[in-house]
A and B are shown apart, each in its own frame.
Chain A
Amino acid sequence: MSFRVRLHSKFSALAVVTAVALLIAGCASSNSSSGSASSTQPLVIGASVSLTGDFADSGKAVQRGYQLWADTVNANGGILGRKVQLKIVDDASSPTQVVTNYQNLINKDHVDLTFGPFSTLLTIPASQVAKRYGYAFLAPAGGGPDVFAQNLDNFFFVQPAPTIKSGDVFADYILSLSKADRPKTAAYVELDDPFSAPIAENIRARFEAAGIKTVYKQVYPSETQDLSSVMAAVAAKKPDVIVGGTQSEDAYSQVKSLVQLKYNPAFMYQSNGANSPLEFPKNVGPQNTAGIFSSADWYPGSKASGSAAFTSAYIAKYGGSAQTVDDSSAEAYAVGQVLQEEAAKTGKIDNATIIKTLHSGTWPTILGNLSWSANGAPNGSFNLVQWQGGKLVPVYPPSVAQAQPVFPKPNWGG
């Protein structure tokens, strides 16, 4: 569930230069790669992924997920007897290059199917290209409201819920507590970003309707590098629950500031950042993670369909441990899973069938069971995870919980 989309404008000049260079390189090589795409044997799937530029880290994680799925499926005989062949091209995190890439994949390379790029910024123009040519567009990332506002019937966001609803599961959990256990006062500290503040605002609406008093609310711009004075203002209000609409850096800063200010709320939730099994403890210190809640779709030790196989295959191919698997890789892998199940169900693998079939039914993936509305928005909800004993554990809803949620939050460093 990484949705880092803050595009530093200073980077964009660099991105343009890279894009132009790529374009030239693309033109130069296109002569040599024309010709025999008419063979029906392999199933060619094209995707543009950010291998360079702002989204490079996440883009590479997406690439790993796609590749791992293709390897797995090919080892088991392919889809409907056809070997999967991936054609992955780099878009340098540029919304113009991504358009060129999908146009080339569809018109020049004549790929059979397309998978999505990373980030809302790139998914929007890319999904429009796919729509123009009647391609189904399964995207592992890019769940911002603008994507669904396009109302494209060929688009499917392969995550449990639209991004801004990812925090709803925390509200569900808090409101499931008895009146005596529920927090009475709440503070909301939100990053001014379409993927952060709205998540916290959705929670605030639910909490206020249930009578949880808002004692503090603040939105900070993304360039706020020192959050200590904001958190000092939060601590002065002594809220029972702190809801952070966060990305990554700011999530770490919130925690570090609260530790320094020695304020420990009974409940603490962060929409993003705290759900990174590797980065979060590294940045805030493992001893300060205990009891913090966050949202996740895939997490280490998930019991969802195929997750154990995915985890061991990932470690076998890329090394590391379950804790180091990037959730973007899991989301990309799930894209392939959906396709595989569609083929198994209908016995056909073409864009029209995919678009028609995926709009109904539920589809089990390593992210849980997915289903979609007409505009490609998923109907499910994220899982509530909590840091317990130095690990990220699913605690809500009960159907996926592997441990009881712990409250009140243990003290910092404890």
Chain B
Amino acid sequence: MHALIQGLILGVLTAGVYALMASGQTLIFGVMKVVNLAQGAMVILSAYLAYGLFTSFGVDPLLAIPVTTVAMFILGVAVQLAFLRPLHDEDRSELSLLVTFAVALLIEGFMSVTWRTTDRSINTSYANSSWSVGGYQITLVRLWAFLLSIAALGVLLLLLNRTRFGRAIRATVQNPESARLLGVESNRVSAIGFGLGTATAAAAGSIYGLLYPFNPGSHYDLISRLLSIVVLGGLGSIAGAIVGALIVSTSSAVVAATISPAWSEMTFFVILILVLLLRPQGIFGTTGRGAI
């Protein structure tokens, strides 16, 4: 019982990190109908950037987030301009898989050459701290990750719902042709939208580096999990990404603590298949083009 509750606490807190990564993923899909297979690689790249800033300049990985966010935003915009814009609208979704996978491999190669393939961890003084509450441990970094994710998601939702730019994005998602006719520069919106999506990788990267050892190949496991979360929640839905992250994270933590880690992925995929059978568009997904 103790292990179950502890597993539940860990799962809920970890969900925040995944929600953050997945929200970027789902935003990109919502805006551009592009499945970004490089999102995981960008998270790991951000972790390396935070690691570099921490080991070379002593910058705390959480304080480094604004810097890495800007860097990832620029990278995202550059990737969109250089690789995705040239794709034709009619087969963009299919080709984007190949293109973004190539970007993921490029980033991975860059990381292997720059930081080699040994595992790295960001070891701040608080990296392994935790609070004891009623015999259970609440790990500090996970709690911060959770709060940070909520804050970042809040900013993202405000941006989408309360700004002109957000309206332009939502308009592009709902009806790109009409949006264009009404003067929305959909090319610019797409580039910035992609940049925003990848920028969420920055905060997630700092947190990931504090929580887990990572190496250039870490993004493979990450991207498969991210895609599952996004599909479970419904492609293009940020609320869906949050709920998907909660389901993935708590189910795998609880199953790993009580049954076996070998079954934890399996359990989640069973949930995924059941959801897809009953609601093929995902929990929060819509069949037509819709709200983010």
Contacts and interface: CB of A to CB of B under 8 A. Distances in A.
A230 interface: yes
Interface stretch (A140-148, A159-167, A201-209, A279-287): A279-287
A283 B128 contact: no
A403 to B, nearest CB: 26
B11 interface: yes
The 5 A-B residue pairs with the shortest CB-CB distance in the complex, in nearest-first order:
A229-B257, A259-B128, A220-B261, A232-B6, A233-B3
Contacts of A404: none
Interface in B26-65: none
Interface stretch (A125-133, A245-253, A340-348): A245-253
A229 B4 CA distance: 8
Q: Main secondary structure on chain A at its contact with chain B?
A: helix
Interface of A: 8, 10-11, 14, 54, 56-57, 192, 218-221, 223-230, 232-233, 235-236, 248-249, 252-253, 256, 259-262, 279, 282-285, 288, 412
Given A232-B10, A262-B130, A223 B257 contact: no
Contact of B10 (A220, A229, A412): A229
8 contacts: A11-B217, A220-B256, A225-B218, A226-B211, A235-B3, A252-B121, A283-B120, A412-B128
A62 B221 CA distance: 29
Contacts of B257: 229-230, 232-233
A252 to B, nearest CB: 4
Interface of B: 2-3, 6-7, 10-11, 14, 105, 116-121, 123, 127-130, 132, 137, 139, 211-213, 215, 217-218, 220-222, 252-254, 256-258, 260-262, 264-265
Contacts, number: 119
A249 B213 contact: yes
B261 to A, nearest CB: 4
B215 A249 contact: yes
A283 B213 contact: yes
Given A223-B265, A229-B257, A253 B137 contact: no
Nearest to B55: A282
Nearest to B249: A226
A282 B54 CA distance: 13
B289 to A, nearest CB: 33
A284 B215 CA distance: 15
Contacts of A54: 117
A17 to B, nearest CB: 11
Among A57, A230, A235, the most chain B Cβ lie within 10 Å of the Cβ of A230
A200 to B, nearest CB: 15
Contacts of B217: 8, 10-11
Given A220-B261, A236-B3, A229 B121 contact: no
A413 to B, nearest CB: 8
A282 B132 CA distance: 26
Contact of A223 (B14, B118, B132, B221): B221
| Residue among A11, A56, A229, A253 having the largest count of chain B Cβ atoms under 10 Å | A229
B123 A283 contact: yes
A130 to B, nearest CB: 28
Nearest to A413: B128
A152 B126 CA distance: 52
B2 to A, nearest CB: 4
Given A57-B116, A223-B221, A282-B123, A288 B212 contact: no
Given A220-B261, A224-B261, A249-B215, A57 B117 contact: yes
Nearest to A288: B128
